[in-house]
């Protein structure tokens, strides 16, 4: 079987941010806008994002996963440009998207990501209730399982939550896949473990326990804007959990420059083989290979 290539990028925080109206800046958005003007607008660069996506497309992956935070403070004017950016990355059948906490930044527009990016979000079997999570896409040997941890939170908080209903549905989905010879990839925005009280996945313990019972082969996330690989227990061994930096960022402080991951996945005898290649922006704004790692 030829290797299947899955690309993963996250947290583009699409720049530039549209100019908000004064009435748009009530509550949490006021804090987010001040943070953008003071800090984020110098970090998130469109030229960096465009260079990264151009290099990604040149690698001709079979599928692309985008794990959230396409927008910044969920202004109404941010969603259409995000849709246009997605179309520049690839067609809905080749690009799988999940939301991040910035995509549901405030309650008034928490529904807009699903309306604007619908066919990039839903699974192979469309639901009559619109976009629902978890959803399942089958691509080659992969079963791509999309979840949403994106919920509006109070100012200065960036936590996420799956919720009991989604956890129960995820357990049923994974149980149904156990008898199949598929490479299961779980897409989630928040990391499964976090040192930050204000950025954590609040029901991560329940998810980790579920995965210990049923397992997947690979978990991909964003949110932290850093290179990250941890391992959690599965029913038949350790599961790699891989995070990636923001796709539009210049290096700043402890945060690395923009990067994305490529995963080459194939059946090797009676087991799966998965090799990770990290490609990222260098100091000259060129994209180069950073490292290769065998995960499985």
Instruction: Give the strands of the sheet with 218-221, arranged side by side.
Output: 135-139, 142-146, 183-187, 218-221, 237-243, 228-234
Q: How confident is the model at residue 128 (pLDDT cuts 50, 70, 90)?
A: low
Q: Which of 259, 248, 223 is CA-nearest to residue 45?
A: 248
Token duo for residue 247 = 């796709």
List, for residues 227-238, the tens digit of each pLDDT value.
999 999 999 999
Statement: the pTM of the whole predicted model exceeds 0.95: yes
Whether the Cβ atoms of residue 254 and residue 242 lie closer than 8 Å to each other: no
Q: What is the mean pLDDT of the chain?
A: 96
pLDDT tops 70 at residue 164: yes
| Contacts of residue 228, Cβ cutoff 8 Å, sequence gap at least 6 | 191, 241, 242, 243, 244
pLDDT at 125: 86
Domain with 247 in it: 4-294
pLDDT, tens digit, 9 for 90 and up, residues 83-106: 999 999 999 999 999 999 999 999
pLDDT of residue 102: 98
**65-79 pLDDT per residue, tens:** 999 999 999 999 999
The CA-based angle 38-242-232, given to 5 degrees, is: 125
The Cα 86–Cα 96 span in angstroms is 10
- Here the CATH number for the domain that contains residue 289 is 3.60.21.10
Question: How many structural domains comprise the chain?
Answer: 1
Residue 126 has pLDDT above 80, yes or no: no
Separation CA 184–CA 296 (nearest Å) = 13
pLDDT digits (tens, 9 = 90+) for 8-67: 999 999 999 999 999 999 899 999 999 999 999 999 999 999 999 999 999 999 999 999
């Amino acid at each position: 079987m030829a290797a299947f290539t899955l690309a993963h990028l996250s947290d583009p925080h699409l720049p530039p941010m549209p100019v908000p109206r004064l009435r748009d800046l009530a509550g949490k958005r006021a804090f987010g806008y001040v943070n953008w003007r003071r800090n984020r607008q110098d970090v998130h660069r469109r030229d960096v994002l465009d260079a990264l996506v151009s290099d990604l497309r040149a690698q001709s992956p079979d599928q692309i996963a985008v794990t959230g935070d396409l927008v910044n403070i969920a202004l109404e004017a941010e969603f259409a440009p995000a849709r246009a950016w997605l179309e520049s990355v690839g067609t809905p059948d080749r690009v799988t998207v999940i939301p991040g906490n910035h995509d549901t930044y405030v309650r008034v527009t928490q529904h807009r990501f699903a309306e604007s990016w619908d066919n990039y979000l839903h699974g192979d079997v469309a639901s009559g209730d619109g976009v629902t999570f978890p959803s399942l896409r089958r691509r080659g040997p992969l079963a791509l399982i999309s979840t949403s941890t994106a919920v509006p939170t109070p100012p200065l908080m960036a936590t996420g939550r799956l919720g009991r209903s989604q956890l129960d549905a995820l357990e049923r989905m994974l149980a149904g896949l156990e008898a199949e010879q598929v490479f299961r990839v779980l897409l989630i925005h928040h990391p499964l473990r976090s040192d930050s009280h204000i950025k954590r996945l609040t029901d991560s313990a329940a998810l980790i326990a579920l995965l210990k019972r049923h397992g997947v082969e690979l978990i991909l996330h964003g949110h932290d804007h850093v290179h990250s690989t941890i391992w959690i227990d599965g029913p038949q061994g350790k599961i790699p959990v891989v995070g990636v930096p923001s796709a539009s960022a210049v290096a700043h402080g402890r945060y690395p420059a923009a990067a994305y991951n490529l995963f080459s996945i194939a059946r090797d005898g009676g087991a799966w083989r998965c090799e990770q290649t990290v490609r990222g922006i260098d100091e000259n704004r060129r994209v180069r290979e950073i490292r290769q790692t065998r995960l499985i």
